[in-house]
Chains A and B, each alone.
Chain A
C-alpha cells in the first residue's frame, strides 16, 4: 500500500483568498485523484491529476476554481481559488495503482472559509 501525506492538515481562510494543498506519495503512482467531502456528506471526485498533462475535471468542477498540478509521479497540488464559505470541506487526495485496483487516501485537509 502507498503512504500518502497532505499539507496542510487544516486551515482557516478568509473568503476571496486561495489555498494550495499538497499531496505527497512515498512511491511512484500512475493515477492521483482529488476529492471533496462537504460537511456530513460523502466524497465527490473533483479531478484526476495526470502527470505531464492537464487534469481531467468532473462535471461541476472547473480548472479556474480548482487548478491542479502534477509535476511528477509522486506529487500533486490542488488549489482552491477565490474561496467562499461554500468551499469549506475536507479535501482528500488518493492514488490508484491501476484500473480495477485499490485506491489509497491521504489523511485529508480540513478547510474552513470564513
Chain B
C-alpha cells in the first residue's frame, strides 16, 4: 500500500509564483526523497533529506521535514513553465534493503 499521501493532487499556478506541495507518511523513516516526472517518463531525483535534517535547499527548491508530524513539504520558488510535471515524495525505511515507498503525487501546471 502507498505510504505517502500528497496534497494537493493538482496545482495550477502562473510563472513566477511559488508552488508548495505537501507529503505525509505513516511510519518512521530513514530518509525522504522528492522526484519529478515529466509526461509519464522516468523519474528525476530532486533532493534527499535525512530523518535528522529539518530543511534542505537546492537551487529554487526548498524541502522541509517534520518527523514529529510525519510530513514534508517541497517549495519551488519563482516557478517556470518547465517545472510543469508530476512531483512525488518517496520514503525509505531501512529494513536491510533500500525500498522506496512512493506518495500519490502532485500534478503541477505552470502557465506562462
Contact = CB atoms under 8 A, between A and B. Distances in A.
Given A42-B88, A104-B45, A99 B97 contact: yes
Nearest to A48: B97
A37 B2 CA distance: 12
Contacts of A108: 40-42
Interface residues of B, number: 27
Given A42-B88, A99-B30, A100-B92, A106 B97 contact: no
Nearest to A31: B98
A110 interface: yes
Interface in A12-66: 31, 33, 37, 42-45, 48, 56
Interface string B68-96: 00000000000000000000101010101
A100 B31 contact: yes
B96 to A, nearest CB: 8
A103 B94 contact: no
Interface majority SS on B: helix, strand, loop or mixed?
Answer: strand
Nearest to B35: A105
B98 A92 contact: no
Nearest to B103: A42
A98 B88 CA distance: 21
Interface string A73-114: 000000000000000001010101011111111111010000
Given A33-B100, A42-B103, A101-B48, 16 more contacts: A4-B42, A33-B99, A42-B88, A43-B88, A45-B100, A48-B97, A94-B43, A96-B98, A99-B92, A99-B94, A100-B31, A100-B94, A103-B33, A103-B98, A103-B100, A105-B45
Interface of B: 2, 30-31, 33, 35, 40-45, 48, 50, 88, 90, 92, 94, 96-105
Interface of A: 1, 4, 31, 33, 37, 42-45, 48, 56, 90, 92, 94, 96, 98-108, 110
